């Protein structure tokens, strides 16, 4: 398939899913290479150097998590895993193994495109310096001046709350697992202390959300982690 | 065994007493005879001695009464028959008197002794009947094998003295011991082999038998007589090592038969329960199948219809029609997805493979996740949340509890007019957390408040789509957390679902960082 847009590698063994992805992604200007097995995927990834990999976790010849690890040994290409509902543990494992995001079947094209856009943006930023100013809807995080405002009003955060928010903001649009956040904010010794994270996340929501029980910025992915939305629609 | 030893012990000491008393009474009778001699003729005094023999027989039994007969003849001869104070007999007629006296004495003693023995036997029988009665009464209230074993061992230990155990075959055929509450059930090598033998041969083994006689226990197979098979073994460790008498064996047989019958009954009750469960599962499966096939076909039919119309009618279709058909496909696919999700959840709940992974989590986060997930479906509906900030952390499975909220919110959305508000409230009790999800719709049909949580129940008309699984799943999940869920109509109209979750343990401490005035805070102007 020839296309001017970014090249995606679709690793999926079900033909119907591949047909749907080819049609919908192709019509949005993406170039697509398809693999039905893990070994094909490795071969295509080395030969075509795709910008994003869409990886179904249920492959016939290898498990997707192991494949993610193999990719991560030599590549930083964004990987979005696709899995069935109810397999939260698999998703977390794939994310902790280095996948960038996930989608739960069934998903809409809109969700898929949003994930791909976020993945592409983060991949392109990774080389350069971090943005000093992050703006998402009413939220503004000024990293240089260590300033957080909501609709122009200053928000006073504790050091942990601030580190949490900055981590999520730098990964805006991407899901972060409990383990990833705990490791970054509390240190490698606290990766199991999920309740720390939950309590601080609740505090943070009270400071930046209009109604913390109906968050518009800081969303929970139950059983997986948290995501700071990159836009409010 | 305690009953026997007690009687043996008392009889040997009381027999000695009996002989002594007989001697004393013989002396007293003779004295009385000597005093009465002035007023009565010698033959009348024979009656006095016969009375003495009778009393002795009644009081002390056979041995002393024979002694009394002999003493009577001798004393009568010595003191009251001429020549006095010798054992010589001058008048031949007196020989007859002595003989009659001795024979009547012996006869009285034999009769009295028999009556005594019969009375004693009647007493023993009565005791045993009472024991068996108590046993059967207690067995009657024992519901399962464990309780039957407990009752059997307790009664056996109390009645036979010593200790008792019951050995029952487990699923793999191994005999597992169960003793009276609070005692050690571990058998020694002899007991193990005696029990094994008794079980395999359906005959008594151990102490007092020919099989493993060195064992400290008597092993009696449990056979009810109803079924052919052997249900287990009762093992008695008596205090004395004397073998059982025939009578005791009979009693043990009666005892064991009752216990075996109780085991048989418990087993049949288990089998009946399992059969009822199978029947219920079967019934569930068929109702599931019929509900599911209908609910799967409806959206599939709509999707197929819309998709084929779009494929075949490209040229002639208005853009508005096309959009409507596409919308149908999306909506019906969503519905299908929800149905499949609910079916999978229900299957997980029903099969008991659902694992509650408890974590400490704020309720707010779970509610927020559910509301985020349903953002599109709930668009245009005011959602009012009242979740106090001081609500303690819940110990719950966040993924499952989120599903409860999703199902309750979807249920509220389906059954209420668009644009009406939904409320979510929570409050903490002393050891519970109460959460309510309330809507402003038409409410539940009167009388259906409890039934809405049943599988496949659909309120009123089936206008609202769904297989009637969402609320059943809610109940399953809440109950898996040890909580309860109920539904009622609100006073002002609308339905209200309330769950009460128990507080489990103490929430862990979360170290607070330096607070908003700390040195590392984000800058504020």
Mutation for B interface: A222, A224, A233, most B CBs within 10 A: A222
Pairing of β B495-502 and β A153-154: unpaired
Smallest Cα distance from B336 to chain A, Å: 11
Residue B465 pLDDT: 60
Mutation for B interface: A105, A169, A192, A195, most B CBs within 10 A: A195
Q: What token pair was written down for B42?
A: 């010698």
Residue B515 pLDDT: 54
Residue B466 pLDDT: 64
| Span B146-165, pLDDT tens digits | 888 888 888 888 777 778 88
Mean pLDDT of B268-284: 83
| Span B234-248, pLDDT tens digits | 888 877 767 677 777
pLDDT greater than 80 at residue B167: yes
pLDDT band at B520 (very low <50, low <70, confident <90, very high): very low
Q: What is the mean pLDDT of chain A?
A: 90
- Whether the CA torsion B102, B107, B113, B119 is positive or negative: it is negative
Q: Output the CA angle B140-B143-B146, nearest 5 degrees.
A: 110
What ipTM goes with this model? 0.90
Q: Are residues A200 and A155 in the same domain?
A: yes
CA distance A81 to A94: 7
Q: Are residues A193 and A140 in the same domain?
A: yes
Q: What is the mean pLDDT of chain B?
A: 82
Q: What token pair was written down for B284?
A: 């569930």
Smallest Cα distance from B305 to chain A, Å: 19
CA distance B346 to B414: 20
CA A93 to chain centre: 13
Looking at the domain assignment, is residue A233 inside a domain? no
In 3D space, the residue among B366, B391, B371 whose CA is nearest the CA of residue B382 turns out to be B371
Q: Are residues A218 and A175 in the same domain?
A: yes
pLDDT greater than 90 at residue B84: no
Is B398 within 8 Å of chain A by CB? yes
Pick the CATH number of B143-271 from 3.30.300.30, 3.30.450.40, 3.10.28.10, 1.10.10.10: 3.30.450.40
Q: Are residues A176 and A223 in the same domain?
A: yes
Looking at the domain assignment, is residue A174 inside a domain? yes
Q: Do B521 and A211 touch (CB under 8 A)?
A: no
Residue B521 pLDDT: 45
Decide if B82 contacts B90 (C-beta within 8 A): yes
Q: What token pair was written down for B524?
A: 């504020």
Higher pLDDT, B58 or B503: B503
Selecting from A88, A162, A215 the residue whose C-beta is nearest the C-beta of B399 gives A88
Smallest Cα distance from B361 to chain A, Å: 6
The tally of domains found in chain A comes to 2
Q: What order do you get walking across the sheet with A139-142 strand by strand? A: A133-136, A139-142, A147-150, A153-154
CA B455 to chain centre: 30
Question: Coil, strand, or helix at residue B523?
Answer: strand
Decide if B2 contacts B239 (C-beta within 8 A): yes
Q: Do A195 and B510 touch (CB under 8 A)?
A: yes
Mean pLDDT of B324-347: 87
User: Which of B209-213, B331-335, B362-366 is modeled with the greatest confidence?
Assistant: B362-366
Burial string for B222-246 (b: 16+ CB within 10 Å, else e) reads bbbeeeeebbbbbbbbbeeeeebee
Decide if B12 contacts B4 (C-beta within 8 A): no
Count of A-B CB contacts under 8 Å: 103
Q: Are residues A12 and A116 in the same domain?
A: yes
Q: Do B513 and A159 touch (CB under 8 A)?
A: yes
Higher pLDDT, B350 or B135: B135
Query: Mind giving me the DSSP string for B129-184?
Result: HHHHHHHHHHHHT--SHHHHHHHHHHHHHHHHSSEEEEEEE-TTS-EEEEESTTS-
Q: Are residues A90 and A60 in the same domain?
A: yes
- Whether the CA torsion B74, B77, B79, B84 is positive or negative: it is negative
Residue B12 pLDDT: 60
- In Å, how far are B9, B31, B438 from B84, measured between CA atoms? 42, 15, 117
Smallest Cα distance from A122 to chain B, Å: 24
pLDDT greater than 90 at residue A164: yes
Residue in chain A nearest B394 by alpha carbon: A195
Residue in chain A nearest B369 by alpha carbon: A220
Decide if A166 contacts A141 (C-beta within 8 A): yes
Q: Say what the pTM is.
A: 0.63
CA distance B225 to B248: 20
Chain A CB contacts of B521 under 8 Å are: 156-159, 162
Looking at the domain assignment, is residue A29 inside a domain? yes
Q: Are residues A108 and A158 in the same domain?
A: no
Q: Do A156 and B521 touch (CB under 8 A)?
A: yes
- Residues with Cβ within 8 Å of residue B515, at least 6 apart in sequence: A158
Decide if B175 contacts B233 (C-beta within 8 A): yes
Q: How many CB atoms lie within 10 A of CB A71?
A: 22
Q: Do B524 and A196 touch (CB under 8 A)?
A: no
pLDDT band at B519 (very low <50, low <70, confident <90, very high): very low
Selecting from A85, A146, A157 the residue whose C-beta is nearest the C-beta of B341 gives A85
Mutation for A interface: B340, B358, B365, B521, most A CBs within 10 A: B365
pLDDT band at A99 (very low <50, low <70, confident <90, very high): very high
Mutation for B interface: A90, A105, A158, most B CBs within 10 A: A158
Mean pLDDT of B432-452: 88
pLDDT band at A7 (very low <50, low <70, confident <90, very high): very high
Is B177 within 8 Å of chain A by CB? no
CA distance B381 to B373: 14
Higher pLDDT, B263 or A55: A55
Name residue, tokens 């083994």. B205
- In Å, how far are A98, A224, B297, B309, B336 from B300, measured between CA atoms? 38, 32, 5, 14, 8
Residue B518 pLDDT: 41
pLDDT band at B227 (very low <50, low <70, confident <90, very high): low
Q: How many CB atoms lie within 10 A of CB A233?
A: 8
Q: Are residues A37 and A121 in the same domain?
A: yes
Q: What token pair was written down for B115?
A: 């009556």
Smallest Cα distance from B515 to chain A, Å: 5
Q: Where are the domains of chain B?
A: 2-136, 143-271, 274-347, 359-502
Smallest Cα distance from A71 to chain B, Å: 30
Q: What long-range pairs does A144-148 form, CB within 8 A, spacing at least 24?
A: A145/B523, A146/B522, A146/B523, A147/B522, A147/B523, A147/B524, A147/B525, A148/A208, A148/B522
Residue in chain A nearest B525 by alpha carbon: A154
Decide if A176 contacts A182 (C-beta within 8 A): no
Q: What token pair was written down for A37?
A: 């097995």
- The three state secondary structure string of B391-424 is CCCEEECHHHHHHHHHHHHHHHHHHCCCCCCEEE
Q: Are residues A123 and A137 in the same domain?
A: no
Spelled out in words, what is the top-level CATH class assigned to the domain B274-347? mainly alpha
CATH of the domain at A70: 3.40.50.2300
Residue B1 pLDDT: 40
Q: Are residues A15 and A121 in the same domain?
A: yes
Smallest Cα distance from A93 to chain B, Å: 16
| Span B28-43, pLDDT tens digits | 888 888 888 878 877 7
Pairing of β A7-11 and β A31-35: parallel
Selecting from B337, B362, B521 the residue whose C-beta is nearest the C-beta of A158 gives B521
* CATH number for the segment(s) B359-502: 3.30.565.10
| Span B457-484, pLDDT tens digits | 766 554 556 667 889 889 999 999 999 9
Q: Do B362 and A198 touch (CB under 8 A)?
A: yes
Supply the range of the domain harboring residue A102: 7-127
CA distance B392 to B202: 62
pLDDT band at A48 (very low <50, low <70, confident <90, very high): very high
Most distant pair of Cα atoms in chain B: their distance: 155
Q: What token pair was written down for B164?
A: 């008792």
Mean pLDDT of B499-515: 84
Q: Output the CA angle B161-B166-B168, nearest 5 degrees.
A: 170
Q: Do A195 and B522 touch (CB under 8 A)?
A: no
| Span B292-324, pLDDT tens digits | 777 788 889 999 989 988 888 767 778 888 899
Q: Do A211 and B385 touch (CB under 8 A)?
A: yes
Smallest Cα distance from A194 to chain B, Å: 8
CA distance B377 to B373: 9
| Span A187-206, pLDDT tens digits | 999 988 899 999 999 999 99
Selecting from B359, B364, B518 the residue whose C-beta is nearest the C-beta of A213 gives B364
Residue B426 pLDDT: 96
- Residues with Cβ within 8 Å of residue B257, at least 6 apart in sequence: B223, B224, B225
Name residue, tokens 């999800």. B437
Decide if B195 contacts B219 (C-beta within 8 A): yes
Selecting from A106, A157, A196 the residue whose C-beta is nearest the C-beta of B522 gives A157
- The three state secondary structure string of B275-286 is HHHHHHHHHHHH
Q: Phi-psi region for residue A41, left (φ > 0), alpha (ψ -120 to 50) or beta? A: alpha
Smallest Cα distance from B518 to chain A, Å: 7
pLDDT band at B264 (very low <50, low <70, confident <90, very high): confident
pLDDT band at B424 (very low <50, low <70, confident <90, very high): very high
Helix (H) or strand (E) segment spanning residue B500: strand B495-502
Higher pLDDT, B144 or B380: B380
Any idea which of B102-116, B124-138, B181-195 has the lowest mean pLDDT?
Answer: B181-195
Instruction: Look at residues A104, A127, A150 and tell me which one is the last residue of a structural domain.
Output: A127
Residue in chain B nearest A155 by alpha carbon: B524
């Amino acid at each position: 398939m020839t296309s001017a847009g970014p090249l995606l590698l679709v690793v999926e063994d079900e033909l119907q899913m591949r047909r749907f992805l080819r049609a919908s992604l192709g019509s949005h200007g993406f170039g697509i290479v398809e693999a039905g097995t893990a070994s094909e995927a490795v071969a295509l990834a080395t030969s075509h150097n795709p910008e994003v990999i869409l990886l179904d976790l249920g492959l016939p010849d290898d498990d997707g998590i192991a494949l993610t690890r193999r990719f991560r040994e030599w590549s930083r290409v964004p990987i979005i895993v696709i899995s069935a509902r109810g397999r939260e543990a698999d998703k977390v494992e794939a994310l902790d193994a280095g996948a960038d995001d996930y989608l739960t079947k069934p998903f809409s094209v809109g969700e898929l495109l949003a994930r791909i856009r976020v993945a592409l943006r983060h991949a392109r930023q990774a080389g350069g310096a971090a943005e000093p100013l992050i703006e998402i809807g009413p939220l503004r995080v000024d990293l240089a001046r260590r300033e957080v405002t909501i609709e122009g009003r200053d928000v006073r955060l504790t050091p942990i709350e601030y580190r949490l928010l900055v981590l999520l903001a730098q990964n805006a649009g991407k899901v972060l697992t409990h383990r990833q956040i705990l490791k970054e904010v509390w240190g490698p010794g606290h990766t199991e202390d999920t309740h720390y994270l939950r309590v601080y996340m609740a505090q943070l929501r009270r400071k930046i959300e209009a109604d913390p029980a109906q968050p518009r910025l800081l969303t929970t992915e139950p059983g997986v982690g948290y995501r700071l939305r990159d836009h409010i629609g | 065994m305690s009953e026997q030893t007690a009687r043996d012990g008392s009889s040997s000491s009381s027999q000695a007493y009996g002989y002594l008393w007989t001697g004393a009474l013989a002396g007293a009778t003779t004295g009385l005879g000597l005093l009465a001699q002035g007023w009565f003729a010698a033959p009348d005094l024979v009656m006095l001695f016969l009375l003495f023999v009778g009393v002795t027989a009644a009081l002390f039994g056979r041995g002393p009464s024979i002694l009394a007969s002999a003493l009577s003849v001798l004393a009568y001869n010595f003191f009251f028959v001429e020549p006095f104070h010798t054992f010589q007999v001058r008048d031949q007629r007196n020989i007859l008197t002595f003989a009659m006296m001795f024979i009547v004495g012996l006869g009285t003693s034999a009769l009295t002794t028999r009556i005594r023995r019969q009375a004693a036997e009647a007493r023993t029988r009565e005791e045993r009947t009472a024991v068996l009665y108590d046993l059967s009464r207690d067995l009657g209230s024992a519901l399962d094998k464990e309780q039957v074993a407990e009752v059997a061992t307790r009664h056996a230990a109390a009645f036979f003295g010593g200790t008792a155990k019951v050995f029952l075959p487990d699923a793999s055929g191994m005999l597992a011991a169960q003793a009276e509450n609070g005692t050690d059930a571990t058998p020694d090598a002899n007991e193990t082999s005696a029990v094994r033998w008794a079980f395999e041969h359906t005959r008594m083994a151990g102490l007092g038998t020919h099989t493993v006689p060195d064992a400290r226990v008597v092993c009696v197979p449990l056979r009810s007589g109803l079924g052919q098979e052997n249900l287990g073994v009762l093992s008695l460790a008596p205090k004395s090592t004397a073998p059982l008498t025939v009578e005791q064996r009979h009693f043990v047989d009666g005892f064991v038969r009752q216990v075996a019958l109780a085991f048989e009954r418990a087993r049949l009750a288990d089998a009946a329960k399992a059969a009822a469960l199978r029947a219920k599962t079967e019934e569930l499966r068929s109702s599931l199948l019929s509900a599911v096939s209908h609910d799967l076909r409806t959206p599939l039919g709509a999707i197929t219809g819309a998709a084929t119309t779009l494929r075949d009618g490209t040229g002639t279709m208005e853009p508005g029609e096309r959009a409507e058909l596409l919308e149908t496909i999306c909506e019906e696919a969503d519905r299908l997805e929800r149905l499949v999700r609910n079916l999978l959840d229900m299957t997980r709940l029903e099969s008991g493979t659902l694992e509650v992974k408890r974590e400490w989590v704020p309720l707010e986060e779970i509610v927020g996740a559910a509301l985020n997930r349903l953002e599109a479906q709930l668009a245009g509906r005011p959602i009012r949340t009242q979740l106090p900030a001081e609500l303690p952390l819940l110990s719950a499975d966040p993924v499952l509890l989120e599903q409860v909220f999703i199902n309750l919110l979807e249920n509220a959305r389906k059954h209420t007019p668009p644009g009406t508000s939904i409320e979510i409230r929570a409050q903490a009790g002393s050891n519970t957390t109460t959460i309510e999800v309330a809507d402003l719709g038409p409410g539940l049909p009167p009388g259906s408040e409890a039934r809405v949580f049943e599988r496949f129940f659909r309120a009123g008309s089936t206008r609202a789509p769904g297989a009637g699984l969402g609320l059943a799943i809610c109940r399953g999940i809440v109950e898996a957390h040890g909580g309860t869920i109920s539904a009622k109509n609100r006073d002002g109209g609308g339905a209200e679902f309330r769950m009460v979750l128990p507080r489990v343990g103490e929430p862990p401490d979360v170290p607070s960082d330096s607070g908003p005035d700390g040195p590392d805070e984000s800058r504020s102007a």
